[in-house]
Amino acid sequence: MGLGFLHLLTGKLHFGILLGWSLLASVGLYFLTNILSYPSSALSVHMCCSALGYGLIPQLATAAFRLVLGKGVVLTGACILTVFWSAKTLTNFITARLRAQHISFDEQKLLLFFPSLLTYVLFALLSVY
pLDDT over 90, % of the chain: 51
What's the pLDDT at 97?
Answer: 83
Phi, psi of 48 (to 5 degrees): -65, -40
Give residue 117's domain range: 2-128
- CA nearest to 87, candidates 110, 103, 104: 110
Q: For residue range 21-71, what is the model confidence (pLDDT) as tens digits?
A: 999 999 999 998 888 877 666 788 899 999 999 999 999 999 998 888 888
Domain count, the chain: 1
How many of the other CB atoms lie within 10 Å of CB of 47?
Answer: 17
Tell me the backbone φ, ψ of residue 59, rounded to 5 degrees: -70, -20
Count of beta carbons in the 10 Å neighbourhood of residue 55: 25
Alpha helices in the chain (DSSP H): 2-9, 15-36, 45-55, 57-69, 73-97, 105-128
**CA distances to 1, 41, 123, 125 from 7, in Å:** 10, 36, 11, 12
